[in-house]
Amino acid sequence: MAGISRKYPMLRRSRAMWTSRRIWQPRLVFWAGAISIGLISVLFAALADQAQGLFRALVGRDTGWRSYLPLVMTPLGFVLCAWLAHVFFPGSQGSGIPQAIAARHLRDEHDRSRILSLRLAAGKIALTVIGLFCGASIGREGPTVQVGASLMLQAARWGGMAQARGLILAGSAAGIAAAFNTPLAGIVFAIEEMGRTYEARTNGLVLTAVILAGLASLGLVGNYSYFGIAKDTVAFAADWPLVIACGVIGGGFGALFSLLALTATRRIRRWNALQPLWRTLVVAGVCGLAVAVTGIASGGLTFGTGYTQARVAIEGTPLPAFFFLEKFAAGVLSMMSGIREASSRRRLRSEQGSAAHSDWSWAPVRASRPCSAWLAISPAWCRHQ
């Protein structure tokens, strides 16, 4: 065997490569990080569903006194989340996507750790779950991006990997893929939103992280359709203008949501500057009370992530006439409170509600429901804060 190695130097180099700890340690740590993102995304989703279920169990489905519990629960929950974020988890405010994008452009490790760390990942999950338990109109997709980026960056530190920018990109993409059960969406998100360009040197990291995170998620919950299945199709060429209209109108609402969120949060931050903690708690309490009133007025439809409403809308069940406006308002208020992410998912829900309340007797509109959901979200996907 030794003679063969001397005769073929390539075999000697290959053997050295396959047995080198320096080569394999970073790869194994990276693979473990990608798998952990998928597992934690599944756990995050389960906790979020449990929190929403507990909230609805406490509030009840009747019109008795329990239906008014959100007037107390929601403001107190908002204040608690704002206090925890300010005191224990500074840097956890916001949707999570802008934070991951900003971390890619930071060069100082200390500055990067202020918005991407295991502590912040745990805080992000905890604050989202508490918010959902209190009836906040928030989602878990944005937080999953920050959690995924934090986990992958920590894996890079443990594994001695130096490609921080690429690893943040890979972790964010894995988070989106695991949260939506859509590997392709994770890749497109990484290229279009996180990286803003295609980088050949990071494509291997992104693809590997998405595949491993997706496999981990599929291994636990199986292959599922996040927004259900729409059986309607576009039958005639005349139907396509309606599909385009849904995309344009939905994109307009998305842009309006981002504009309102940016304007309101900037003014609130300036107002909070004099007394950051107390004024932050006041804003959170007022926004929480407004979210509770909106939720009660909508019959409880605007509380929580909006996953159920989006699914039934896509599958053919009409939503109430003013649902999309109520969900829009609840999302803006939740974003203004500063407790957590209320952007991409809230826009998506409100836009689906708008399309769902179009004329359900029109086959073209029914056919455009799935298109309206995804076309609407693309023009203004998390371009806020």
In a domain, 312, yes or no: yes
How many domains does one find in the chain?
2
Q: What pLDDT is recorded for position 78?
A: 95
In a domain, 255, yes or no: yes
Domain housing 134: 28-221
Amino acid at 235: A
List Cα–Cα distances, 90 to 48, 76, 87, in angstroms: 22, 19, 7
DSSP H or E segment with residue 58: helix 21-59
What tens-digit pLDDT sequence spans the chain (385 residues)? 455 545 545 545 555 555 666 667 777 888 888 899 989 988 998 899 999 999 999 987 767 788 899 999 999 999 999 999 988 888 777 778 888 888 888 878 788 888 888 999 999 999 999 999 999 998 888 888 889 989 988 888 887 776 777 888 888 888 888 877 778 878 887 777 665 655 655 677 788 888 888 888 878 877 777 667 777 777 677 778 888 888 898 889 889 988 888 888 889 888 888 888 899 999 999 999 999 999 999 988 899 888 888 888 887 788 888 888 899 999 999 888 877 544 444 444 444 444 444 433 333 333 333 333 333 333 333 333 3
In a domain, 3, yes or no: no
Q: Which of 194, 221, 248 is the last residue of a domain?
A: 221
In a domain, 385, yes or no: no
Q: What pLDDT is recorded for position 136?
A: 92
The verdict on 345 and 373 lying in the same domain is yes
Q: What pLDDT is recorded for position 197?
A: 58
The verdict on 202 and 242 lying in the same domain is no
The verdict on 215 and 244 lying in the same domain is no
CATH number at residue 62: 1.10.3080.10
Contact 135, 291 (CB under 8 A): yes
The verdict on 155 and 111 lying in the same domain is yes
Q: What pLDDT is recorded for position 369?
A: 36
What phi-psi label fits residue 19: left (phi over 0), alpha (psi between -120 and 50 degrees) or beta? alpha
Q: What is the pTM of this model?
A: 0.78
Q: What pLDDT is recorded for position 371?
A: 38
The verdict on 63 and 181 lying in the same domain is yes
CB within 8 Å of 340: residues ≥ 6 apart: 81, 93, 95, 124, 127, 128, 131, 136, 138, 143, 334
d(CA 360, CA 354): 12
The verdict on 202 and 300 lying in the same domain is no
The verdict on 43 and 168 lying in the same domain is yes
The verdict on 287 and 373 lying in the same domain is yes
Dihedral, CA atoms, 79, 96, 344, 331, nearest 10 degrees? 10
d(CA 148, CA 343): 18
Q: Which of 221, 250, 276 is the last residue of a domain?
A: 221
The Cβ of residue 76 has, within 10 Å, a number of other Cβ atoms equal to: 15
Q: What pLDDT is recorded for position 95?
A: 77
In a domain, 15, yes or no: no
Q: What pLDDT is recorded for position 199?
A: 60
Q: Where are the alpha helices (DSSP H) in 160-239?
A: 164-180, 183-189, 200-221
d(CA 353, CA 287): 22
d(CA 352, CA 374): 9
In a domain, 169, yes or no: yes
The verdict on 53 and 193 lying in the same domain is yes
CB-neighbour burial class of residue 295 (10 A; exposed 0-12, middle 13-18, buried 19+): buried
CB within 8 Å of 70: residues ≥ 6 apart: 59, 134, 135, 291, 292, 295, 296, 303
Contact 123, 146 (CB under 8 A): no
The verdict on 366 and 262 lying in the same domain is yes
Q: Output helix, strand, coil percentages for the chain, rounded to the nearest 5.
A: 75, 0, 25
The verdict on 208 and 295 lying in the same domain is no
In a domain, 323, yes or no: yes
Q: Which of 175, 197, 221 is the last residue of a domain?
A: 221
The Cβ of residue 255 has, within 10 Å, a number of other Cβ atoms equal to: 14
The verdict on 252 and 217 lying in the same domain is no
Which of 354, 313, 330, 289 minimizes the C-alpha distance to 138?
330
Q: What pLDDT is recorded for position 356?
A: 46
In a domain, 23, yes or no: no
What's the angle, vertex CA 322, arms to CA 318 and CA 324, rounded to 5?
Answer: 80
Which of 181, 247, 248, 183 minimizes the C-alpha distance to 220?
181
